[in-house]
Structure 1
Amino acid sequence: MFKRLTPQCFKAYASHSTTKNASHSTTKNASPIRLAFENIGTGYYSFYFDNDNVLRLIYDGPDMTSVYWPNPSRRVLDNGRTNYNTSRIASFEEMGSFFSSDDLKFSAFDMGVRVKRRLMMDYDGNLRLYSLSGSTESWVITWQALTQQCKVHGICGRNGICVYTSERPKCSCPPGYEVADTTNWHKGCKPKFDPTCSQSQQWKFMQIQHADFYGFDLIYYESISILRCRKQCLEDCRCEAFSYRVGSCYTKGALFNGYVSPNIRGGIYLRLPQSVDTSPPTNPNVFNTCRINVSTTYTSTSKRERWIYLYSFASAVGAVEFLFILSGWWLLFRRSHGVAPPLKDGYALLSSQFRMYRYAELKKATKNFKEELGRGASGVVYKGVQADERVVAVKKLADIYKGEEVFWAEVSTIVKFNHMNLVRTWGFCSEDKHRLLISEYVENGSLDKHLFPPNFLGWKERFKIALGIAKGLAYLHHECLEWVIHCDVKPENILLDSKFEPKIADFGLAKLSQGGGLNSVSSHIRGTKGYMAPEWALNLSITAKVDVFSYGVVLLEILKGIRLSNRVVENSEEEEAELKRFVKVAKRKIQCGEDQWIEDMLDPRLEGQFSRNQAAKMVEIGISCVEEDRNKRPTMVSVVQMLLECEEEPNIQQ
């Protein structure tokens, strides 16, 4: 858990009084409201205009100085900013919109007049905009700079690693290190060994999967092997670790800004003395840490080198801090009745692009709901064109969503999603009896319209789609603001953009995993027959493994090019589901070592145009995902990792 670091805290608020300037910042009157910055503390975090006239967030601590927002890995223009300006001006309008001379723009979710607001640099290093709720007299978050708290630099100190959990981000010490001060994580972790470099010292490398330390690269090597990368680190006394990603090697001179994320390929390799104890503490909670996943150890001796597998990937990486998400939604008023939806305690993390639409506006955009794109149990989707000519998908929700409580639960789930493999929702409408969701329009429609005969997908597209779906589900299960179980993964709910990148849609059956991440939750919700895991029928508690089962069915259908979920075949004794028969035949062929087993498991229309390694791995993953015993099914994070390991294989192999 993060400790308060006596922050450099700036509070911005709308006022009719004289404008004040904060350190490093310049403000501009936005008549009749003026923006005021008030310095209410001293600490290590600052919100300031840099020398190139770009607004930034920086951690300036005793051990390091590091900019972390906007994304320091990208160029200024790629972050949507500009340094081609000669002024340092920022204004905050009464409606709740912020503008600055570097092209930074954001808005409060509850845009409107007569709302008290404040812009604060909080103690955890995040910049947040708050609005005062008139009905509860409490402050709620209506915008924040970083949705992933572990991207804030300095929060876990030197050698510390930020880990997402079901409750909130927590700090952890890597193997070979221990917490320096249990009352102040800013002091980070100290080594259990003497870091002095000597020729007689024997070293080993321990990998922390899906982890990285930002910055402090000694040397960057390109197009080299992991053995060469490891050798470069061994030969440099300054090197404390190295990061290796598909031919790219980064040696680290210091370990700052560590974090774990499923989106990080590979991991960080720590250089540790051979003699150091890397076993987990008997009681890790003493230090209030969250243990990270250690997978593989590489050792080095004076005679020879060995690669030994010590640990397996035991559990999924945690999720982003739960910021008490729901209460901000109930700031929105039911315009037709003049009353506000019920409020709940906590904060709301809301996108500046997410807004409320009027029903008349949507009726006009869809030409009175003329062009239907699709329909399902949760509602009907129509194509619409907004006034700014942006094409959108407008979903009229089914009768179940007419109740306020159900609808707001749905909206509060969707707004938290931010991933390239999830359909982006732009806003909603809650007016009289109407309940609608407005999302991005995905050009190529659903997967089922391209995969099954008479339509056809090539191998490259099939692999990309399989990987993209896995990434989206891994985000929902392990990295979303709250862990979410989709509950209805099927080809009809996988949309394809112009480049055939998949986007998971239709969260009408989504279920938040309450209080335990991937632990079990009970639910009466049902998915689609053929894609539902056995535990639904057995009336067992529901976990994220129901999505893993559904993904396995979809993956095998991608491979075979036909419906496996609803087909029944007849044999000499009894009828048998096509999926069950497919799995049984595949297992038998694999065990018998038949030469052509892969070809027999794939869509014959591919005519040999596929990668054998990728196909074999996908069959293996699909079979493991549809195991009746959910404990034998993999997590979606491990599925992503297995697919990424063969992503670089040649796409076509005859």
Structure 2
Amino acid sequence: MAIRATQLSFFVSILLISFHPYFASTTRNALQRGSSMSVEGGGSDLLTSPDNSFSCGFYPVGTNAYCFSIWFTDTKDKTVVWMANRDHPVNGQRSRVSFRRDGVMVLTDLDGSIVWSTNASSATDADTAQLLNGGNLVLKNPKGEILWQSFDYPTDTLLPAQTIDRHKKLISSKGKGSYYTGYYSFYFDNDNVLRLIYDGPEISSIYWPSRDRSVFESGRTYYNSSRIAVLDDLGSFFSSDLLNIYASDKGFGVKRRLTMDYDGNLRLYSLKKSSGSWVVSWEAISRPCDVHGLCGRNGICVFTPKHMCSCPPGHERVDPTDWSRGCRPKFTLACDQTQQLKFVELPHVDFYGNDLNYKRGMSLEDCKKWCSNECSCRGFSYKWGEAVCYIKDTLFNGYQSINFPGNAYLKLPSDYETSESAVLEGSEAMCNTNETEIITGYSHMNRSHRSRTTWLYLGCFAGAIGFIEILFIALGWWFLFRRRDTGNSVEDGYCAISSQFRKFAYSELKKETKNFTEELGRGGSAIVYKGVLEDDRVVAVKKLGDVIHGEGEFWAEVSTIGRINHMNLVRMWGFCSEKNHRLLVYELLEHGSLDKHLFSKFSSGNGSSNVEVGVLGWKERYKIALGAAKGLAYLHHECLEWVIHCDVKPENILLDSDFEPKIADFGLAKLTQRGGSGSEFTHIRGTKGYMAPEWAMNLPITAKVDVYSFGIVLMEIVKGIRLSSLVVEQGEEEEVPVAWFVKMIKKKIVSKDDSWIDHIIDPRLDGRFVKKQAVRMMEIALSCIEEERSKRPSMDSVVQGLQEVEEIEKNNAK
């Protein structure tokens, strides 16, 4: 019922918005074809909305610099809500906005060059430019139809009746008093959830909703396909991911805006008519230090009453005027064993993300030794009670809070003079809110408050609109049920939530797999069976062998895996943990694993050993390579907990009906004990032929082991055979097949002639492949299997490299 009420409110708001009364004027708020606005006209050459709430024209952003903008007319600071050219201001002389006779509006600079224009293809029939009461600049045709609107191109602000969807995002300004594009964004992510992200010059980091909680724990849902959200006139924000925001002064008659501020906080503002100033009626982040990127590289946000940035010992500010530039070290760390090192303790400090690796159950001294032996380690965080060591290659998102149960330890040369424990003192306030009054708002997470206010909202709404409300509700319900019949309703997505990740009873899975009779495959640590759930979902049930965790620990690990969601990762539906039984329930993919298509002529996937598997075409191979790389990149860099797979191989890359790849068995390295009887695994994790050299050398394991394994898989996708089964040429019998193959490729690849690939490519392709893509894939593969792991690229870089050749035209194919 709660979901339906929220859903109903969302659609009623949409319906209300569709009937929003814009009273247009044909004189004071319109621009006709052939007319223009000049920068020299200043305050007199403006478009105004019919109710005079908004003005549109040239707004000063610096000395002799202007942007074509829309702003609130009567606010104390003429608050800007939209800019056409925020990153390219025009000159204060002879700059002009012209509504040309071809129906296109253009902004030209002093020299006549076009700085900005509306969409020419959609506005050729436009004959009127008009600023509406809601702050929307529109181009209309003679029929009054809107052909272009500023609401489709937001900058940092969302206004009532303006929607945000998968194609739009709010991007902050760069700093206080600056209008240039900044580093913080409010947007719909690929998983359909609204997020805040810091996307700076060096790193990207999502910080809201909190990465320490699952999407569902934050009151959101992945299960929506519309990706749409809207702010209404009452001060309520409704989103398809179930994010609901309510202004603390909710009601009609107040002008509002939702703004992505320069300090990384998303705030809902309400205008006080008496003073023309803004009050904050809701904000996403209550503690500014929870925002990422504020203090830059090496900088630490200190939880003082004013929330300050500080540089750690041995560091100084890069730019005294800009904290986002961070701090730089005043010392040099050498990558050799001769330099003596020491660690400075930073009490209650943590640096979020950028972990080289982590280990549980490690003493503080062992953690120091580990970081000392890693050249790229710049310091580490250590949690006391859990005895967890996180070593860091870069120090970003630093913060100090008494609530953090641990310390950070900074790596310095032993001869650098500083105390062993540092006291941080904030040096400058990060955000200044004393110009803006704050009145606490609330969101969907305060459920009791929301419930009371929802009833108040419904009562006021009924009293104000009466019969029209009843009509809209009837229309809303009719729309919902009608949509349900089509199979595309949002309700379908909500219903699916209740049947997603959950705990299964062993008897339930035994029944749904027909007593574990239909085996799909087996490995050294598990057997996989086919099953059909009560809701008719066909699933793969993985029955684990030796498990190193008890029931509580098993649940903790599995719940983490279950929260990870990406289109190139196999979805886990649930688990079973009863007595000695440990089972995992996954989605079942139609085309099975990649190895059956690359290496085997026959498949026994549906019970017959005589079913021929068709040869994978080049298009499918490239799609599989890119998709698998994206899945690993997500695990390494973006997911809730950074995950190292430890066993990347074709058997763990599954293919759906469209040959879209999905990586399986991620996270299982923590769950299973390798090296059991009959296992393909050695005493260390991984499969022979795909294991990185550091496994054998007993070095600390990082994400680069997955990069190495992916490189082998990439070569096999191109070559079409398992490299470990290659026959080594005579005279080189003692050489490992993979090493021999790599040596051969390196000899050939130095040639500028790409014809060598013809002798490497899978002959079953019969010459039908894109040569440049194949060559690039082999080059990337070679970089992935470098023996020295520091020379291997990250999976993000691998994805970028593969995407560079994605758009090669078909006429380049052989």
Query: Are 1:157 and 2:261 counterparts?
Result: yes
Deviations, residues 102-157 of structure 1 (Å, cap 9, x unaligned): xx9xxxxxxxxxxxxxxxxxxx9759999xxxxxxxxx9963245899x9998972
**Structure 1 residue aligned with 2:328:** 282
User: Quick one: which of 776, 783, 787 aligns to 1:624?
Assistant: 783
Inter-partner Cα distance in structure 2 for 1:67 and 1:444: 47
The answer to whether residue 612 in structure 2 is matched with residue 442 in structure 1 is no
| Corresponding residue to 1:172 among 284, 288, 293 | 293
Contact kept? 1:555, 1:618, Cα under 8 Å: yes
In structure 2, what residue type is equivalent to 1:564?
L
The one of 527, 535, 543 equivalent to 1:388 is: 535
| Structure 1 residue 602: Cα displacement | 1.4
TM-aligned CA distance change 1:431 to 1:278, over 3 Å: closer
What letter is aligned with 2:261? G
Partner of 1:73: 165
Match of 1:433 among 571, 580, 602: 580
TM, length-normalised to structure 1:
0.52
CA distance in 1: counterparts of 2:571 and 2:353, whole angstroms: 32
- Which amino acid counterpart does residue 653 of structure 1 have in structure 2? A
Residue 143 of structure 1, aligned match among 202, 217, 241? 217
1:402 deviates by 7.2
1:173 positional shift: 5.6
Structure 1 residue 404, shift from structure 2 partner: 2.8
Equivalent-residue separation in structure 2 for 1:65 and 1:647 (angstroms): 35
Query: Cα distance 1:590–1:129, how it changes in 2: closer, same or farther (>3 A)?
Result: closer
Count of aligned positions: 400
**Does 2:753 match 1:564?**
no
3-state SS of 2:701 partner:
coil
Q: AA paired with 2:788?
A: D
Q: Residues 47-66 of structure 1: matches in 2 within 5 Å?
A: 49-50=9-10, 52-53=12-13, 66=158
2:658 and 2:3 map into 1 onto residues whose CA distance is 45
| Structure 2 CA distance for aligned equivalents of residues 365 and 625 of structure 1 | 42
CA offsets 1:359-408 (integer angstroms, 9 cap, x no match): 12111111111111111122111111111211111111113357436633
Q: Secondary structure at the match of 2:217?
A: strand
Q: Give the alignment's Cα RMSD to 1 decimal.
A: 5.2
Instruction: Note the C-alpha offset of 1:28.
Output: 7.2
Shift, 1:463, TM fit: 0.3
SS at match of 2:637: helix
Equivalent position of 2:545 in the other structure: 398
1:554 maps to a residue whose letter is V
Give the aligned partner of residue 550 of structure 1: 709
Where does the alignment leave 5 or more consecutive residues of structure 1 unmatched? Answer: 1-26, 38-46, 56-61, 76-103, 105-123, 131-139, 163-167, 189-275, 293-314, 325-349, 513-522
Show the counterpart of 1:7.
Answer: none
Per-residue deviation, 1:582: 1.7
| CA–CA separation in structure 1 for the residues paired with 2:262 and 2:736 | 56
- Pairing partner for 2:619 from 460, 469, 488: 460
One of 366, 374, 379 as aligned partner of 2:521:
374
In 2: Cα distance, 1:74 partner to 1:29 partner: 22
Shift of 1:571: 2.8
Q: Could you tell me whether the CA contact under 8 Å between 1:156 and 1:171 is conserved in 2?
A: no
Per the TM alignment, residue 646 of structure 1 is displaced from its structure 2 partner at its CA by 1.3
Task: Using the TM superposition, give the Cα deviation of residue 506 of structure 1 relative to its aligned residue in structure 2, in angstroms.
Answer: 1.7
Structure 2 contact 158–259 (Cα < 8 Å) conserved: no
Q: How far off is 1:502 after superposition? A: 0.5
Tell me if 1:605 matches 2:764: yes
Residue 584 of structure 1 corresponds to 743
AA paired with 1:158? Y
Q: Is the 8 A contact 1:395 1:436 kept in 2?
A: yes
What is the correspondence of 1:193-342 to structure 2 with a 5 Å cutoff? 281-282=327-328
Distance 1:67 1:283 in 2: 44
Q: Indicate the residue corresponding to 1:574 in structure 2.
A: 733
Q: Larger relative contact order (C-alpha < 8 A, sep ≥ 6)?
A: 1
Query: Are 2:812 and 1:633 equivalent residues in the alignment?
Result: no
Q: Which amino acid aligns with 1:143?
A: E
Match of 2:610 in 1: none
Alpha carbons of structure 1 residues 573 and 590: separation in structure 2 relative to 1, 3 Å = closer
The percentage of counterpart residues that share the same residue type is: 54
Q: What is the letter of the counterpart of residue 292 of structure 2?
A: C
- Structure 2 Cα separation of the partners of residues 542 and 72 of structure 1: 42
Q: 1:458 to 1:580 in 2, by over 3 A?
A: same
Q: Within 2, Cα distance between the matches of 1:587 and 1:489?
A: 23
Contact 1:569 1:578 in 2 (8 A): yes
For 2:210 and 2:323, how far apart are their aligned partners in 1?
39
Distance of 1:608 and 1:483 partners within structure 2: 40
Post-superposition CA distance 1:76-127 (Å, at most 9, x none) = xxxxxxxxxxxxxxxxxxxxxxxxxxxx9xxxxxxxxxxxxxxxxxxx9759
Deviation at 1:614, TM superposition (A): 1.1
Residue type matched to 2:262 in 1?
A: R
Higher gyration radius (CA): 2
| d(CA) in 2 for partners of 1:634, 1:351 | 40
CA pair 291-482 structure 1, distance change in 2 beyond 3 A: closer
Q: Corresponding residue for 1:653? A: 813
- Whole-Å separation in 2 of the counterparts to 1:526 and 1:50: 49
4+ residue stretches of structure 1 with deviation over 6 A? 27-30, 127-130, 151-156, 178-188, 276-279, 287-292, 315-319
In 2, Cα distance between the equivalents of 1:635 and 1:29?
Answer: 41
